[in-house]
Chains A and B, each alone.
Chain A
Amino acid sequence: MIDFTLSEMQETVRQMVHWLAENEIRPIALEADRTHQIPDAFLRKMKELGISSGAISKRAGGDGDGAGESADKKGVKQTNRVAVIGAEEMAWGDPAVILTLPGPGLGGPPVEFMGTAEQKAKYLGIFKDDELRWGAYGLTEPVAGSDVAGIKTTARRDGNHYVLNGRKCFITNGARASWVVVFATVDASKGRAGHRAFVVQKGTPGFSVGKIEEKMGLRASETAELVLEDCRVHQDDLLGGEKHYEGKEGFMGAMKTFDSTRPMVAAMAVGIARAAYEKAVEFTKEHFDLGRPIARYHAVEDLLARSQRRIEASRLLVWRAAYMADAGMPNAKEASMSKAYAARTAVDVLSDLVQVMGAAGVMNDHFVEKWFRDIKVYDIFEGTGEVQRIVISKRILRDLKSF
């Protein structure tokens, strides 16, 4: 049945995360953008409150270790819906700061989807103590980004170990991460069947951090290059064990990660766009031109209204993808639809809202200037808008295997 009411738990999470975003995240965001750093005190506070990247919702939802499922009264899990609701509110606070929250980050889902019980305990377990720790996800390479199948990093078997060689780039929290999920190929001629995912720990000989990127936006977030030179990784750190890769599973593991992370990223884009929209509404009510608030001019009204409804439409696409995931329905197409639409919408909306605010919109002491820079990457990371459309195309057009 159709019901757009948030469950008690969803509403609780929304309110709690919103409170955090408003009172803890927003106040440090502009300074973090200027200094490219996030205060340790803030990160510790988040940790104490149980707010962690990759497990925001589960922690906030109160089932403690982040590994259990939160179910509604009828026993249908609501993990994904809770996650996207939390993600929107978090990103409403600030899209850059939240990428640095301690926790497994994007490295979490592949460990959860593919890891053995021992691996889950070993790698996700480290986040239970009081230290500030991060996980990371290393897929992109200088010549292979969205084309996951084209990765060049090699893994050569040597006794009980694999020897990894290659470079990973644009890795969020790559330098500060305790471990990174690294995708590599054991046999380039096998294509996807040759792919393996390893967990590489910080300090492993042959594993080093290259340059830290300077970026257009998300400047408070660390984006690192990672270098693997004859890096020896024990076979126990092959995610899921060798058996997991018989058949297509290895590559599918990387892809399944996207099915759950894309709606999350889309939800964040919704949160940022909404935050900017609220700022713009406030601004246009208070700023007068020829004796009336600029909000009362049709051209401005029209931009505000179009922004508002597109943000709402984005949110509903996100909720739909999350609802399907919770109901156990395949949602790759819908996840990509939410990401493609929400990211494009957020980029358009930010551009329009900067325009509405005029000169104030490009000043560094207004959030919209920063969010305008931050938002572009939402149409790029976790699969560019074009990659989302490839995913959708293959699911709507008969016999379409590749372009």
Chain B
Amino acid sequence: MLSLGLSEELTAIQGTVREFAAKHLRPKLRAIEKNGLGADTRARFAELGLFGVDWPEAAGGQALGLITRAVIEEELAYGDVGAALALDRGGAAAQLLLALGTPDAHAALKRLLDGEGHAALAAAEEGKARDDFRTVAAKQGSGWVLNGKKAYVLGGATAALRLVLAQVDVGQGLAGAGVFLVEGANPGLRAGKTHTTLGLQAVPVHELVIEGLMLPLAARLDDQVSLPQVLRRHYDRLSLVTAARAVGLAAASYEYARAYAEERVAFGKPIGHFQAIAFLLSDMAIAVDAARLMTWKAAWAFDQRQPATADLAGAQAQALEAAFFCANSAVQVLGGAGFVQDHPVEKWMRDAKTLALYGQHAQASHAVLAAAALGRPLDSADLFPLPSLHASLS
């Protein structure tokens, strides 16, 4: 029917999250960037009962769809995108479990939901790109043994649940790789170096060293499914979450710069009353709205069970572009004040660049969009940021 207003229920959720973000995230964003999320903030967010809102009931979720998730993520990221990422205990790993959709994957999600820890996805590896993962899983007796090294793992060192991508059939690329579940501590897995990152510093990023990691047979979660297809669904879902966060970041940057331009006076009038600034702000406002509409459309299409891969990739690319454009422009509008850390916009600019390398990064999204237009299979290995293209954060 082409109706573009939020339902009453969703408007209420939006209001609740907006209030939470204004009270608990925005005022503490520098502390959160430096020290991570406080237990108090985590607890208050948990009280809202919004974790798992988009998961199916079989995974213990509320089955409210990606559109609900999109609205929530945008509002959290409007408070602060780094905090939004840190509040997501499921992260990219939960998206992969949802994409797997097996009873075992759902059971793992349930345990995550009932616990207090966070999940991490160990996918990327450093070094020259190739078709196979260097991390290898071999069958040994009644289980698996894994050896290798993973890079750029968000929250990797302290995660309660980790998913490790490893090569099972050497020379087979993604089709010969497997997903392995590691819950709790394991002597075969330890944290390597901590990467120092450009942005999104609220979540530490680690290297994981895997040496003789022994796992039961059932730890491999993708036995009955095609990994390229699972990864397609994984990146689809993750794209939407990234898009929604990018919209929130863009909106926050726009609104911060807009308010500043009303207050800051130069040459006898507010700087917003000069066309160069006002037009820039107008373009930022357009970028935010366009990205939000793309995100809603993609979430809606996914929830309707329509083929949504292209919509999701398009939304993500559009929103990431909007996020960097708005954050960069906000720094410009604030001038010197934008560059110093008294204002959040320099942080958001760093965050925006970092967000564009999370999951299916912007170039990969374009490749997916083009593949859809050209009628190529969307689970082709060359459309994934892993392992053949340059690695992304997970």
**CB within 8 Å of B: which residues of A?**
1-7, 10, 72, 78, 81, 281, 284-285, 295-296, 298, 301-302, 304-306, 308-310, 312-314, 316-317, 319-320, 323-324, 327, 334, 337, 340-341, 386, 388-390, 392-393, 396-400, 403
Contacts and interface: CB of A to CB of B under 8 A. Distances in A.
Given A3-B1, A313-B318, A392-B286, A304 B300 contact: no
B2 A10 contact: yes
A7 B2 contact: yes
Contacts of A319: 2, 4, 293
B220 interface: no
What is the predominant secondary structure among interface residues of chain A facing chain B?
Answer: helix
Interface string B71-95: 0000000000000000000000000
A304 B314 CA distance: 12
B366 interface: yes
18 contacts: A2-B4, A6-B1, A10-B2, A305-B373, A306-B317, A313-B290, A316-B293, A320-B289, A320-B293, A323-B5, A337-B289, A340-B286, A390-B275, A392-B285, A396-B281, A397-B261, A398-B262, A400-B273
Given A310-B318, A393-B282, A316 B297 contact: yes
A4 B370 contact: no
A317 B285 contact: no
Contacts of A2: 3-7, 10, 67, 296, 300
B373 A281 contact: yes
B3 A3 contact: yes
Given A285-B374, A320-B293, A398-B262, A309 B282 contact: no
B279 A308 contact: no
Contacts of A78: 2
What is the predominant secondary structure among interface residues of chain B facing chain A?
Answer: helix
Contacts of B317: 305-306, 309
A6 B2 contact: yes
Contacts of B297: 4, 312, 316
A341 B314 contact: no
Contacts of A313: 290-291, 293-294, 318
A309 B369 contact: yes
A306 B317 CA distance: 8
B272 interface: yes
A342 B3 CA distance: 20
A305 B363 CA distance: 10
B363 A317 contact: no
Nearest to A392: B282
A4 B2 contact: yes
B258 A396 contact: yes
B272 A397 contact: yes
Nearest to A391: B282
B interface, size bucket: 35 or more
Given A314-B290, A397-B281, 18 more contacts: A2-B67, A2-B300, A3-B1, A3-B3, A5-B1, A7-B2, A10-B2, A78-B2, A302-B363, A302-B370, A309-B369, A313-B293, A316-B297, A323-B5, A340-B283, A392-B285, A393-B282, A399-B270
A3 B300 contact: yes
Interface string B238-280: 0000000000000000000010011000000010111100110
Contacts of A400: 272-273, 278
Contacts of A317: 286, 289-290, 293
Contacts of B314: 305, 308-309, 312
Interface in B331-390: 363, 365-367, 369-371, 373-374
Contact of B300 (A4, A312, A386): A4
A295 B374 contact: yes
A399 B290 CA distance: 26
A337 to B, nearest CB: 5
Task: Kindly name the residue among B261, B283, B286 whose own CB sees the greatest number of chain A CB atoms within 10 A.
Answer: B286
B370 A305 contact: yes
A78 B3 CA distance: 10
B369 to A, nearest CB: 4
Interface in B289-333: 289-291, 293-294, 296-297, 300-301, 311, 313-315, 317-318
Contacts of B293: 313, 316-317, 319-320
A397 B262 contact: yes
Contacts of B366: 301-302, 305-306
A397 B258 contact: yes
Which 6 A-B residue pairings sit nearest by Cβ, starting from the closest?
A: A301-B370, A305-B366, A316-B293, A393-B278, A305-B369, A309-B314
B367 A312 contact: no
A158 to B, nearest CB: 42
